[in-house]
Amino acid sequence: MSTAETLLGLLAVGARHGYELKRAHDGHFPQARPLAFGQVYATLARLVRDGEVEVAEVRSGAGPDRTVYSPTPAGLDRLRRWLSTPEPPSPYVANVLMAKVVTALVSGGSGRDCLRIQRAAHLARMRELTALKADPAGSVAQTLSADYAIVHLDADLRWMDTTAQRLGELAKEVRS
């Protein structure tokens, strides 16, 4: 999971303070480990340092003051780049891709582009491996290694196709 980008995605729909961010994160990404408060504030501090998040206001109330953060244009650029860049097409990208799809939905996108871009990257890698198997100079061990990678990439691709078919339901759940 990319904590910085997912926090930027949660901030893209409105300014929030650290506690709200943690609650939103843990609610939207149940497959990930709950974020520790220390991780939330350390990540926010780095994002502020890098000019990708800024302090929008400090709320005072009955309890301690709450610092509310919002993304800067540079932060939103980073979020867009992350959502539109495929992960390296190795097996087991589901966690990161799930985070991208949910983050895209939370921040007002459809998630479909993330899946499309990743699918193309996975299929391109499968083509390379398939061509490798057809190489008459290749060894059986090389073919078996390619077989292993192909079936795992295929599992990811099936998951992407199913996710694409469930995007409407996921959008409703994420935005409810």
Partner 1 sequence: MREPVLEARSLVRSYGDTPALRGVSVAVGAGEVVAVTGPSGSGKSTLLHCLAGILRPEAGEVHFAGTRIDTLSEARRTTLRRGQFGVLFQFGQLVPELTAAENVALPLLLDRHGRAESLTAARGWLDRFEVTDLADRRPGELSGGQAQRVAMARALVTEPQVVFADEPTGALDALAGERVLTALLGVARRAGTTVLLVTHDTTVAAYADREIGLRDGAVERADVPA
**Least gap, CB of 101 to partner 1 (angstroms):** 16
- Asked if residue 123 binds partner 1 (CB under 8 A), the reply is yes
Inter-CA distances, 134 with 75, 122, 126, 151, 168, Å: 45, 19, 13, 16, 39
DSSP 53: E
Helix H or strand E segment including 17: strand 16-17
**Applying CB under 8 A, does 129 fall inside the site for partner 1?**
yes
The footprint of partner 1 on this chain (CB under 8 A) covers a number of residues equal to 20
Instruction: At 3, list the tokens.
Output: 């904590």
Kindly write down the DSSP assignment for every residue of 60-94, as one continuous string.
-SSSS-EEEEEE-HHHHHHHHHHHHSPPPS-S--H
Of 23 and 133, nearer to partner 1 (C-beta) is 133
User: Between 2 and 91, whose beta carbon lies closer to partner 1?
Assistant: 91
Tokens of 1: 């999971």
| 154 contributes a contact to partner 1 by CB under 8 A | yes
* CB nearer partner 1, residue 31 or residue 85: 85
Stretch that binds partner 1, among 11-19, 40-48, 157-165, 166-174 (CB under 8 A): 157-165
User: At its nearest, how many Å lie between partner 1 and the CB of residue 152?
Assistant: 11
Nearest-angstrom CA–CA distance, 133 and 129: 6
* Strands lying side by side in the sheet with 66-71: 16-17, 66-71, 53-59
Establish if 55 lies at the interface with partner 1 (CB under 8 A). Answer: no
Q: Does 119 bind partner 1 (CB under 8 A)?
A: yes
- Collapsing DSSP states into helix, strand and coil, what is residue 31? coil
CB of 50 or CB of 135, closer to partner 1? 135
Answer yes or no whether residue 157 interacts with partner 1 by CB under 8 A: yes
Applying CB under 8 A, which residues contact partner 1?
Answer: 116, 119-120, 122-123, 126-127, 129-130, 133-134, 150-151, 153-154, 157-158, 161, 164-165
